[in-house]
Structure 1
Amino acid sequence: MHMKSAPHLLNEDRAEYQRVLDEALRNAHERPDLAAVGLRLNAEQLRTMALNATALIAASAAAEYEHYVKVRREMRTSAAASASGSVLSPAVGQSADGGGAGFAAVIAVLAPVLAGTAAAIFLLVGYILKMLSPTPSFADALLTAGWFFGALTAAAILVAAVGLLLTALRNGAAQVAEEVPAGELPDEVSRAKEAWRHALLERGILPFLRAALADPSADPASTAPPRPVSRIPKIGFSGPEFSSPAEGSTAGQRPTFTSPDFTSPDFGGPEHRPD
Structure 2
Amino acid sequence: MHMNVAPHLLTEDRAEFERVVDDALRNAHDHPDLAETGTRLSTAQLRAMALNATALITTAAATEYDHFVKVREQVRSAARGTAGGSGSGTGEVPADTDGAGVVAVVTVLAPLLAGTAAVVVLLVGAVLKMLDPAPAFADTLLTAGLFFGVVAAAGLLWAAAGLLVTALRNSATEVPAGTPDDELSRAREAWRQALRERGVVPFLRDALTAAPAEPATAPALPRQSPPPTGRIPKVGYSGPDFTSPGGGTPSPRPTYTSPDFTSPDFGPPDHRPE
TM-score computed with the length of structure 2 as normaliser: 0.51
Q: CA deviation at 1:185?
A: 3.1
Residue pair 2:129, 2:135 contacting (<8 A) in 1 also: yes
In structure 2, the residue matched to 1:241 is 222
Residue pair 1:108, 1:159 contacting (<8 A) in 2 also: yes
1:208 maps to 2:208: no
1:117 maps to 2:79: no
One-letter amino acid matched to 2:32: Q
After superposition, what is the alpha-carbon deviation per residue over 1:165-215, rounded to whole angstroms, capped at 9, x for unaligned? 3333344445543543442239xx96x987776665555321222444677
Q: What is the alpha-carbon distance in structure 2 between the residues aligned to residue 257 and residue 72 of structure 1?
A: 94
Residue pair 1:58, 1:200 contacting (<8 A) in 2 also: no
In structure 2, the residue matched to 1:177 is 176
In structure 2, the residue matched to 1:46 is 33
Q: What is the alpha-carbon distance in structure 1 between the residues aligned to residue 239 and residue 81 of structure 2?
A: 95
One-letter amino acid matched to 1:209: R
Question: Structure 1 residues 245, 10: closer, same or farther in 2, change over 3 A?
Answer: closer
Q: What is the alpha-carbon distance in structure 2 between the residues aligned to residue 108 and residue 164 of structure 1?
A: 10
Q: What is the alpha-carbon distance in structure 2 between the residues aligned to residue 137 and residue 235 of structure 1?
A: 114
SS state at 2:184 partner? coil
1:166 maps to 2:147: no
Aligned residues between the structures: 212
Q: CA deviation at 1:160?
A: 1.4
In structure 2, the residue matched to 1:34 is none
After superposition, what is the alpha-carbon deviation per residue over 1:58-98, rounded to whole angstroms, capped at 9, x for unaligned? 63438969x99999998888777777788889xxx998843
Q: List alignment gaps of at least 5 residues for structure 2.
A: 6-12, 243-274
**What are the within-5 Å matches in structure 2 for residues 39-118 of structure 1?**
44-46=31-33, 56=47, 59=51, 60-61=53-54, 97-118=96-117
Q: What is the alpha-carbon distance in structure 2 between the residues aligned to residue 168 and residue 82 of structure 1?
A: 23
Q: Percent identity?
A: 35
Q: What is the alpha-carbon distance in structure 2 between the residues aligned to residue 166 and residue 256 of structure 1?
A: 117
One-letter amino acid matched to 2:236: R
Residue pair 1:94, 1:102 contacting (<8 A) in 2 also: no
Question: Structure 1 residues 70, 239: closer, same or farther in 2, change over 3 A?
Answer: farther
One-letter amino acid matched to 1:177: P
Q: How big is the alpha-carbon RMSD for the aligned residues of Structure 1 and Structure 2?
A: 5.6
Residue pair 2:117, 2:145 contacting (<8 A) in 1 also: yes
In structure 2, the residue matched to 1:255 is 237
Question: Structure 1 residues 163, 61: closer, same or farther in 2, change over 3 A?
Answer: farther
Q: CA deviation at 1:106?
A: 2.1
Query: Which structure's CA Rg is the greater one?
Result: 2
In structure 2, the residue matched to 1:29 is none
Question: Structure 1 residues 178, 236: closer, same or farther in 2, change over 3 A?
Answer: same
Q: What is the alpha-carbon distance in structure 2 between the residues aligned to residue 44 and residue 136 of structure 1?
A: 98
In structure 1, the residue matched to 2:145 is 146
After superposition, what is the alpha-carbon deviation per residue over 1:227-261, rounded to whole angstroms, capped at 9, x for unaligned? xxxxxxx6654144132168589xx642236499x
Q: CA deviation at 1:159?
A: 1.4
Question: Structure 1 residues 194, 182: closer, same or farther in 2, change over 3 A?
Answer: closer
Q: List alignment gaps of at least 5 residues for structure 1.
A: 23-40, 219-233, 261-275
One-letter amino acid matched to 2:222: E
TM-score computed with the length of structure 1 as normaliser: 0.51
